[in-house]
Homo-oligomer: A and B are copies of this chain.
Amino acid sequence: MNDNFHVLITGAAGMIGQKLIARLAREPRIGGKPIERVTLVDIDEPAAPKGAPFKVNTRTGDLSLPGEAMAAVADSPQMIFHLAGVVSGEAETDFEKGYRVNIDGTRFLFDAIRQREYKPRVVFTSSAAVYGGPFDGPVSDDFHLTPHSSYGAAKVIGEQLLADYSRRGFFDGVGIRLPAITVRPGKPNKAASGFFSSIIREPLAGQNAMLPVDDKTLHSHASPRAAIGYLLHAATLDTENLDLRPNLMMPAVACTIAEQIEALRKVAGDKAVARISRVRDTLVERIVAGWPHEFEAKRALALGFVPDKDFDEIVAIHVEDELSGEVAA
CA distance A244 to B134 in the complex (A): 10
Q: Is the CB of B145 within 8 A of A145?
A: yes
For the complex, is A163 an interface residue (Cβ under 8 Å from B)? Answer: yes
Within 8 Å CB of A160, what residues of B? 145, 147, 153, 156-157, 160
Q: Does residue A182 face the partner (Cβ distance < 8 Å to B)?
A: no
Residues B141 and A144 in contact, CB atoms below 8 Å apart? yes
Mark A145-159 against chain B: 1 for CB-CB distance below 8 A, else 0. Answer: 111101001001100
Give chain A's interface residue range (CB within 8 Å of chain B): 20 to 34
Q: Are A150 and B168 in contact (CB under 8 A)?
A: yes
Q: Determine whether the beta carbon of A143 is less than 8 Å from that of B146.
A: no
Task: Give A243 to B146 CA distance when docked, in angstroms.
Answer: 10
A164 contact from B153, B168, B243, Cβ within 8 A: B153
* Pairwise interchain contact B146-A245, C-beta atoms closer than 8 A: yes
A14 contacts the other chain (CB 8 A): no
Interface residues of A in 127-179 (CB under 8 A from B): 132, 134, 141-148, 150, 153, 156-157, 160-161, 163-164, 167-168
- A95 on the interface (CB 8 Å rule)? yes
Could you tell me if A144 and B147 are in contact, using CB atoms closer than 8 angstroms? no
Within the complex, the shortest CB–CB distance from A312 to chain B, in Å, comes to 33
Assess A144 versus B145: contact at CB under 8 Å? Given A95-B168, A157-B160. Answer: yes
Instruction: Across the interface, name the chain B residue whose C-beta is closest to A111.
Output: B99
In the bound complex, residues from chain B placing their C-beta under 8 Å from that of A150 are 164, 168
Chain B residues in 8 Å Cβ range of A146 = 163, 244-245
User: Hey, which chain B residues are within 8 Å of A148, CB to CB?
Assistant: 167, 244
How close is A127's CB to chain B, nearest CB, in angstroms? 14
Residues of B within 8 A of A132 (CB): 244-245
Closest to A141 in B: B144
CB <8 Å contact, A156 and B153: no
- Determine the distance from Cα of A180 to Cα of B284 in the docked complex, in whole angstroms: 44
A202 to chain B, nearest CB (A): 34
A25-79 at interface with B (beta carbon < 8 Å)? none
| Residue of A95, A134, A163 with most partner-chain B CB within 10 A | A163
Which of B143, B147, B243 meets A142, CB within 8 Å? B143
Q: Which residue of B lies closest to A104 (CB)?
A: B107
With both beta carbons as reference points, the residue of chain B lying nearest to A150 in the complex is identified as B164
A290–chain B nearest beta-carbon distance, Å: 10
Besides A150-B168, A157-B161, 8 new A-B residue pairs in contact (Cβ under 8 A), listed by A number: A134-B243, A141-B144, A142-B142, A142-B143, A142-B144, A147-B164, A157-B157, A157-B160
A-B contact pairs, 27 of them (CB 8 A): A95-B168, A132-B244, A132-B245, A134-B243, A141-B144, A142-B142, A142-B143, A143-B144, A144-B144, A144-B145, A145-B145, A145-B160, A146-B163, A146-B244, A146-B245, A147-B160, A147-B163, A147-B164, A148-B167, A148-B244, A150-B164, A153-B161, A153-B163, A156-B160, A157-B160, A157-B161, A160-B160
- Which 3 A-B pairs have CB atoms at the shortest separation, nearest pair first? A153-B164, A142-B144, A153-B160
